Chains A and B, each alone.
Chain A
Amino acid sequence: MSDHEYVPKSKFGKWFNDRLPLLSLASHLTDYPTPKNLNYWWTFGGILTFCLIIQIVTGLTLAMHYIAHADLAFESVEHIMRDVNYGWLIRYVHANGASMFFLAVYIHIFRSLFYGSYKSPREIIWIIGIIIYLLMMAAAFMGYVLPWGQMSFWGATVITNIFSAIPFVGEGIVTWLWGGYSVGDPTLTRFFTLHYLIPFLILGLVVLHIWALHIPGNNNPIGIDVKKPSKDTVPFHPYIVIKDGFALLMFTIVFAFFVFYSPNILGHADNYIEANPMVTPAHIVPEWYLLPFYAILRSVPDKLMGVIAMLSAIFVLAALPWLDTSKIRSAVFRPLYKQFYWILVADVLILGYVGAMPAEGVYLLIARVATAYYFIHFLIILPVLGSKEKTIPLPLSITEPVLESSLNSPIIKKKESLN
């Protein structure tokens, strides 16, 4: 794993390192050669790690006071808000932390899409990332159920009912998930258990994600392979550490504004009403970060097909390294892809917007068009674009952005042969 042999200076250090090479690992992490041209969109990896740690620490603390029981959960949350020392702070950090986590992960994913970070040789990093994203959605959904408010209860009912779309065994699966004939106490208890478990699974996958990243090294805004270590790279410490740290602080300021000045703006007022199986809220909406998928689910008239469309919308991402046939990574050198990229960003935002609106009339029409475009982007535009697009010649290296003789670059050669 290390790029050069690390030998500890002290005798004890050497003795220890021979048995467990933790010091070699630390040396690898600090010296890790990183492209020097990384922009601030690359700082979200570190920010996401911070988010995960914040969620785990605040979550552990909340779990010490929370009671996972249908009759007591809502009250125990109010107990945390009122009587636990700084309980309000811990809970608001945790609740808004989930939103911040998703904000960061969406920026992280769209950065990957723009700069082609999912392409060879980084497919495994990308796929692990998609699994992390799936687990995040599961954790966030179950976490939203725990306060046992109206949206918790009815959100859980709607989402678990998705499984009833499975032919023949669907109803049985839903009953099995609920642990009863409706969402109730057994559902809450198991959701709490899983909500506690998933972050640690994510943590493990994050280690794999970073490990897989450290094999080829970071992609960069220009998207060309970087010789490492060379004058194109800087050691991770202190250069990237301080830059990530600066970006993280900026992010924390935004985070703090939400926590201290509008802690409930991203939530739904109905979730401060205790769950009541006899009263259905006027509109059942998931948290904002799940809205695009909710829109896709509702845009298909058939329930089973809707579920398939929603799941495909996520799984199509996992196939992205093979759907995007262009050999050029960065959108900077792909003038057409760049435009389609921004259309996709707008498309996902529109999906999110209509996901929050009632599924009728013009909203349903928009949702259908946007859903169709989402799949067209990944399944038709990207594969075709790879062979049709006229790309801009790549520079030879990061430090020589001025093109000298593009034909020396192996990537360019491949590109030429395609035309």
Chain B
Amino acid sequence: MKNIFKIIYLTILLLAAMHQVKAAEKVDLLKTDWSFKGLFGKFDRGSLQRGYQVYTEVCASCHSMKYLSYRNLYEKGGPEFSIEQAKAIAASFEVTDGPNDDGEMFERPAKLSDKFVMPYGNIKEAQAANGGAYPPDMSVLAKARSGGVDYIYSVLLGYEDPPSGITLEDGVYYNKYMYGNNIKMSQPLYDGSVEYNDGTEATQEQMAKDVATFLMWAAEPHLEARHKMGFKAIMYLIILTILVYFSMKKIWSRIESEV
């Protein structure tokens, strides 16, 4: 009898879990092999550097990344540009600093310690320039959408002509993977949108994968450190658990022999 109920309960649990997964992913997202998944997952340096290139040349004209600093570009676990490269990247942007001793604000080239320069001064300005839609900040975007990087990758590749019977307003585009299928961003990536410095062929899929990888790192800059530490911590815990198990057996054997 006991078993019957355990079975019933496990079945319900399983059904519930399955259903939840099904409900959460009504449209199957496009999948690609991410190097950063799994126990030892690491970012692909080349992909991160290319992803940064796609971000600056394509996305950055509308999307800010306000929580990232230029120094992050050379820090360990990221794109790992050399410190000189990172300085040069920073210096190519102008930031407003001040006030100086005369009480005036002034423009200067960005330094490593500066945050990524934002394309718009404020949200209203961003909305005004984009037909009322605010291009979301991309710093944590990869964690802020269910489906994560897979979702971003899919949306970037999900533009298609609307099915017959659906008419779209001006400035609205049809995207297979976007919630509600309507998106106010026009298709951002076409084959050859950027010319990669490392010679990789800039196909749509390649760029989408690179920029999604870059966004994952931006959202989770310590992912590599986390995976590394996690493996060590769990190995340590498993070994300690085994030792404590045998100590426990030894201690309890004093009692159990008396019974």
Contact = CB atoms under 8 A, between A and B. Distances in A.
Interface in A71-102: 75, 78, 81-82, 88-89, 92
A20 B221 CA distance: 51
B6 A349 contact: no
Contact of B144 (A75, A242, A273, A342): A273
Given A272-B143, A338-B2, A356-B20, A349 B230 contact: no
A252 B237 contact: yes
Contacts of A353: 16, 19-20
B105 interface: no
Size bracket, chain A contacts: 35 or more
Contacts of A263: 226
B166 interface: no
Contact of A246 (B72, B139, B241): B241
B46 to A, nearest CB: 23
Contacts of A234: 255
A256 B12 contact: no
Contacts of A269: 143-146, 148
A28 B144 CA distance: 51
Contact of A249 (B2, B23, B241, B255): B241
B208 to A, nearest CB: 19
A338 B225 CA distance: 47
B247 A242 contact: yes
B244 A342 contact: no
Contacts of B219: 272
Contacts of A75: 67
B248 A264 contact: no
A246 B247 CA distance: 9
A357 interface: yes
A256 B237 contact: yes
A273 B5 CA distance: 42
Contacts of B13: 349
B237 A253 contact: yes
B251 A239 contact: yes
Interface string B216-259: 00010110011101110110011011001101100110010011
A49 interface: no
B230 A346 contact: no
B121 to A, nearest CB: 17
Contacts of A264: 143
B183 interface: no
B140 interface: yes
Interface string A54-86: 000000000000000000000100100110000
Contact of B234 (A78, A81, A92, A256): A256
A89 B145 contact: no
- Top 8 A-B pairs, shortest CB-CB distance: A260-B230, A342-B5, A272-B144, A249-B241, A353-B16, A272-B143, A269-B146, A242-B248
Given A246-B248, A253-B238, A253-B241, 18 more contacts: A78-B139, A92-B226, A234-B255, A249-B240, A250-B241, A257-B234, A259-B230, A260-B227, A260-B230, A260-B233, A261-B227, A261-B230, A263-B226, A272-B140, A273-B144, A349-B9, A350-B12, A399-B259
Interface of B: 1-2, 5-6, 8-9, 12-13, 16, 19-20, 23, 39, 67, 72, 136, 139-140, 143-146, 148, 179, 219, 221-222, 225-227, 229-231, 233-234, 237-238, 240-241, 244-245, 247-248, 251-252, 255, 258-259
